Structure 1
Amino acid sequence: MKYLYKLSFLVALASLLTLGSCSEDENEPPKSDAELIGSGIAWKFSAVTAAGIDASSYIDDCYLDNLLTFNYQPPTNVGVVDSGATKCDDSAPQTTDFTWEYDESTKVLSVDTEVIEIPGAVGEIKVVSVSATQLVLSQSVSLPGFGTQEIVLTLVH
């Protein structure tokens, strides 16, 4: 009888430990791309390439420390650009608000302002990939002497 009592106690203890290790996060559905982009955590510059070649030296330093925060708040998603420690224009405000939309089916990110200023940029900003820690964007850019090139911008948290 003692053996049966110990066995049932061990089964109950194991059940409690197993159930106690579950968290609510495991039950949440995966986040959409729009929710990942609009996490409310600032994105910062990591890399930029043109035709697969590092192009960060062609971007003014005052843009490289900018922070982009996208807030997912349907129906109107808002965001903030923070100019960082190095401002391009000292008289410009430190932060600028913008609105944005993301089309899950086409993977196109639309913003109502020049959030990411790329000279010669034309067309849509495409989301190449997004995760909880990295956002990769691409856009076609017309470069004098080089024609139209695909610029790939990587942002990280």
Structure 2
Amino acid sequence: MKTFHKLSYLLSLVCIVSFSSCHQDEDKDPVKSDAELIGSGIAWKFSTVTASGLDASSFIDECLLDNLITFTYSSKTGVVDAGPIKCDESDPQTEEFTWRYNDSTKILSFDSDVIDIPGAASDLKVISVTSAELVLSQNVALPGFGTQEVIVTLIH
């Protein structure tokens, strides 16, 4: 009789573990592409700007550092919100743009100066992207410092 109870207990335990592990697999979200993570529809904001590993935020106007940038994956459009500090009060609060992402080259391209870094172009290299952080880089000619790799980190 004790053997029957032990066997029943063991069988019950195996069933519980099996069912719970199957349930967890079904709940996992599918892996998102870089473009889907970038274009989540959630606003990105500046976290850090570095040039050759040193803080370079002083090269960027304060009125640009508080901007919010939202990318929409489905339409490949986006909006830049000027934030509380506008560079020119006559500028619109928001500006729309279009974007493209090349998965093989990891290049994020814009049709405007979405991320306004002096001396930068509209194409940025995506170093990494997660659901919470987007790290971009570009070689930029900085006055008095020559060409430097500028790394911009955006966060949600």
**TM interval, short-chain normalised:** 0.7 to 0.9
Give the match's secondary structure for 2:28. Answer: helix
In structure 2, the CA distance between the partners of 1:10 and 1:43, relative to structure 1 (3 Å rule), is: same
- The corresponding residue for 1:39 is 40
- In the alignment, which residue of structure 2 is the partner of 1:107? 106
Q: Bigger CA drift: 34-43 or 142-151?
A: 142-151
Cα distance change of structure 1 residues 18 and 90 upon mapping to structure 2, 3 Å threshold: same
**d(CA) in 2 for partners of 1:10 and 1:136?**
46
TM-score after normalising by structure 1: 0.85
| Structure 1 partner of 2:51 | 50
What residue in structure 2 maps to residue 84 of structure 1? 83
> SS of the counterpart of 1:49?
strand
Structure 1: unaligned runs, 5 residues or longer = none
Q: CA deviation at 1:95?
A: 0.9
Q: In the TM superposition, what is the alpha-carbon distance from 1:148 to its structure 2 partner?
A: 1.3
Q: What is the rounded CA distance, in whole Å, between the counterparts of 2:122 and 2:82 in structure 1?
A: 24
Amino acid at match of 1:103: N
Determine if contact 1:123/1:139 at 8 Å carries over to the other structure. no
Take 1:137 and 1:48, find their aligned partners in 2: how far apart are those partners?
A: 10
Matching residue of 2:27: 24
Structure 1: how far apart are the matches of 2:23 and 2:121? 53
Q: 1:1-157 counterparts in 2 under 5 A?
A: 3=5, 12-26=15-29, 28=30, 30-73=31-74, 76-122=75-121, 124-157=123-156
Question: Which ranges in structure 2 are unaligned for 5 or more consecutive residues?
Answer: none
Query: Does the residue aligned with 1:63 lie in a helix, a strand or coil?
Result: helix
Worse-superposed segment, 41-50 or 4-13: 4-13
Aligned equivalents of 1:106, 1:18: Cα separation in 2: 38
Local SS of the residue matching 1:34: helix
Return closer, same or farther for 1:13/1:125 CA change in 2, 3 Å cut-off: closer
Call closer, same or farther: CA 1:13–1:83 in 2, change over 3 Å: same
Question: Structure 2-normalised TM-score?
Answer: 0.85
Q: In structure 1, what is the Cα distance between the partners aligned to 2:93 and 2:23? A: 46
Report the CA distance between 1:85 and its aligned residue.
1.0
The count of aligned residue pairs is 153
Paired residue type of 1:24: D
How far does the alpha carbon of each residue in 1:102-128 deviate from its partner, in whole angstroms, 9 at most, with x for none? Answer: 000011110001101111124731111
Q: 1:14 to 1:78 in 2, by over 3 A?
A: same
